[in-house]
Amino acid sequence: MSSHTDPGALPSPATPAGRDGLRAILAEPQRAVIGLDFDGTLAPIVADPEQARAHPEAVAVLAALAPKVASVAVITGRPAEIAVRYGGFAGVPGLEHLTVLGHYGAERWDAVTGEVTAPEPHPGVAAVRAELPEFLDGTGAWIEEKGGRAVAVHTRRAPDPQAAFDALRAPLTDLAGRHGLIVEPGRLVLELRPPGMDKGVALLTHVRELSATSVLYGGDDLGDLPAFSAVDDLRSTGTPGLLVCSGSDEVTELRKRADLVVDGPGGVVGLLRALAERLT
Ligand SMILES: O=P(O)(O)OC[C@H]1O[C@H](O[C@H]2O[C@H](CO)[C@@H](O)[C@H](O)[C@H]2O)[C@H](O)[C@@H](O)[C@@H]1O
């Protein structure tokens, strides 16, 4: 796979399908959807999730790109309102039509209205939240509250983060299952959340709503794999797409499936800048 090293150049994807995807975006940008994950893709990974912020150049680059394409959509496991706040996405000239699909697509925020639409919370979330502390005792793991719509168990700050993650995965999967939830594993995080939605469904729905003729999706984590599969499905039915991996040492699964690997959020921003410049 290709790495994006020259900051000013638009890199050539390593695969024929990726090159087709990029060509289609460049040929008809007004009908292209740009889908982007937040943590690890637009925002560098930090030890405390409350301190995560978009890369310092991300907003300016998105604002330069968004008016030239059909849609820029941030698709994240975060609550939409949190991603908007940590991203600094509200009220930005150029981002008037930004969409943020939160909770893996269950929530939606549109810059044009500034409002979030969300389903009723799943009753299993409160139930697992009540039981969680007894599972975490002595592991060094801790809980991130997610507005009552999901709950995340982080192990990044545990003495042995990977060992804590591995030890908790099976019991938390069992706990989630008893309350009708699923476990979404991520970068040293196990998220207990309602089933029925994922980033693939979210991306496909968005692409179809806009009758887009091409798509770029960029992600870094396991929760982005359904969006990668959605782009594969779109390709197989005639909609070209480009799969971008925001590379890290923590997760390698996306790297293997990507058309283009860039160096973390800085690389993503560089790629999007080069794309925006080329579209000028
Ligand atoms: O879909 P995403 O935008 O990638 O969100 C997925 C999870 O991201 C967050 O956790 C990750 O980022 C944290 C801050 O950099 C980091 O500390 C943690 O180890 C990562 O897993 C977020 O806190 C979770 O709620 C999201 O589900």
CATH 3.40.190 for the 123-193 domain, yes or no = no
5 pLDDT above the threshold of 60: no
Question: From the CB of 189, is ligand 1 less than 6 Å away?
Answer: yes
110 CA from centroid of ligand 1 (Å): 21
| ipTM score above 0.95 | yes
Distances (CA, A) of 280 to 4, 35, 96: 20, 20, 19
Question: From the CB of 144, is ligand 1 less than 6 Å away?
Answer: yes
209 CA from centroid of ligand 1 (Å): 27
The domain spans of the chain are: 2-118+197-279, 123-193
Integer Cα distance of 29 and 33 in angstroms = 8
pLDDT above 70 as % of the chain: 98
Question: From the CB of 149, is ligand 1 less than 6 Å away?
Answer: no
Report the atom number in ligand 1 closest to the C-alpha of 51.
14
Mean pLDDT score of the chain = 96
Query: Which residue's entry shows tokens 């160096």?
Result: 263
Question: 3-class secondary structure for 130-165?
Answer: HHHHHHHCCCCCEEEECCCCCEEEECCCCCCHHHHH
Q: What is the per-residue pLDDT across 215-227, written as a single tens digit (0 to 9) for each?
A: 999 999 999 999 9
Ranges of beta strands (E only) in 1-148 are 2-3, 32-36, 71-75, 99-102, 107-110, 115-117, 142-145
**Per-residue pLDDT, 2:** 42
2-118+197-279 to CATH, choices 3.40.50.9100, 3.40.50.10170, 3.40.50.1000, 3.40.50.970? 3.40.50.1000
Q: What is the per-residue pLDDT across 182-216, written as a single tens digit (0 to 9) for each?
A: 999 999 999 999 999 999 999 999 999 999 999 99
Integer Cα distance of 275 and 29 in angstroms = 10
| Strand bridging mode 151-154 / 142-145 | antiparallel
Question: From the CB of 157, is ligand 1 less than 6 Å away?
Answer: no
Query: Which residue's entry shows tokens 């800048």?
Result: 273
Question: From the CB of 223, is ligand 1 less than 6 Å away?
Answer: yes
